[in-house]
Amino acid sequence: MAVQRVTPNSPPHFKRFYVCFDSLKKGWKEGCRPILGLDGCFLKGPFKSELLSAVGRDANNQMYPVAWAIVEVECTDSWAWFLNLLAADLNLEDGFGFTIISDQQKGLEIAINDVLPRVEHRNCARHVFANWIGRKKAKSYEFDF
């Protein structure tokens, strides 16, 4: 957990919180595919923040939670912080032999390239399609064959 102080004498101020239980870490290493899905979402309520998560796929193609974090805002710095901790916990080294799937999160691509330069990074097809449809809703398309 990371805390900050507004001034040197002020009480600690919550910044970030990371969770990766040992049993989930071992389970992912021993029984899951070398694929991680990364995503972020808003946490609403009195304390606005973001939830970052890493999810694997097990042998039955079921989602397998690996790690999550609460951060102040979704940006390159918070994604890099999360990925550094995740890479250390899972022994990902430079990412060779692993795949990350994500939608187009703010700052995530830069953080992935910095922390795991040899990882295979792919965008989720469902998110790419949904974003494309959302931008093109009002327009009609004709295809020439």
Domain residue limits, the chain: 2-136
Q: What is the pLDDT of residue 119?
A: 95
Cα distances (Å, whole numbers) of residue 118 to 3, 22, 103, 106: 31, 25, 19, 20
Query: Between residues 141 and 34, which one has the greater pLDDT?
Result: 34
Across 2-6, 57-61, 111-115, 139-143, the highest mean pLDDT is recorded for 111-115
Nearest in space to 32 (alpha carbons), one of 43, 23, 40, 41: 23
pLDDT of residue 45: 81
| pLDDT tens profile 7-18 | 778 777 778 999
pLDDT digits (tens, 9 = 90+) for 99-138: 999 987 768 899 999 999 999 988 765 655 566 566 666 5
CATH of 2-136, one of 1.10.3470, 3.30.420, 1.20.120, 2.40.50: 3.30.420
2 confidence band (pLDDT: 50, 70, 90)? low
pTM above the 0.75 mark? yes
pLDDT of 125: 59
pLDDT tens-place string over residues 23-60: 999 999 999 999 999 999 998 888 789 999 999 999 89
More confident residue, 88 or 48: 88
Are 83 and 115 in contact, with CB atoms under 8 Å apart? yes
